[in-house]
Amino acid sequence: MEVKIEKSWKKQLQQEFDKPYFEQLVSFVKSEYAQAHVLPAGSQIFHVFNLCPFDKVRVVILGQDPYPTPGQYYGICFSVPEGIAIPASLSNMFREIHQDLGKPMPTSGQLERWVEQGVFPINSVLTVRAYQSGSHRGRGWETFTDAVIKALSDEREHVVFMLWGAYAKEKAGLIDSNKHLVLTAAHPSPRSADRGFFGCRHFSKANEYLRNHGLDEIDW
């Protein structure tokens, strides 16, 4: 199947695009866009892939579902467009960065500045019906994004994987911890941030790991 996606990702993932499950997934997603309000815009489904080529990925932040509120999600996990109020989980991430590294609290929740440095925030599911969180789970996106994680694990070295919350931690088995850094903590959601996300210091730990392997740190 022909999929419009950045060329290095296309090379890595073409075998997924050619599998029957992906064809079924595409049919489902197209039917959803035709009959419902689905997020993000179709052209933005692979937005983070297009901004961050395969060989540039240095830190993976794994989420689960896109924000279901129109105007928030545009293809980068946790990120929101300029001028949109910063969601609670992202605000807690900024708070942890402030406590960990002393960085000022941002006024924008747009994370392109991270992605341009090789941070790859990706949801396990890449589309959702408006106002219906989790509505596109179990349709094939998880199989696809698991393949993305495994490709990064298999083909790259010294990538930092941040797995927050029980769902993300289940993905640890896809990652070779002998050649990558796997960081786990509670999810930054207000429901769980006080139970192990605050104080996890993942952002300084990521930079220390990158530095120790001769790689540039992330300006969080």
Going from N- to C-terminal start, the domains of the chain cover 7-212
**pLDDT tens, position by position, 19-60:** 999 999 999 999 999 999 999 999 999 999 999 999 999 999
Mean pLDDT score of the chain: 98
**pLDDT tens, position by position, 103-147:** 999 999 999 999 999 999 999 999 999 999 999 999 999 999 999
The H or E element that residue 123 is part of is strand 119-123
| pLDDT value of residue 98 | 98
**Which amino acids are annotated catalytic?**
65
Structure tokens at 212: 């120790």
Q: Where are the alpha helices (DSSP H) in the chain?
A: 7-17, 20-35, 47-51, 88-101, 112-115, 141-155, 165-169, 202-212
Whole-model pTM? 0.97
The CATH number given to 7-212 is: 3.40.470.10
**pLDDT tens, position by position, 6-17:** 999 999 999 999
Question: Half-sphere exposure of 50 toward its Cβ, with a 13 Å CA cutoff?
Answer: 11
Per the CB < 8 A criterion, the answer to whether 103 and 220 are in contact is: yes
In the chain, % of residues over pLDDT 90: 100
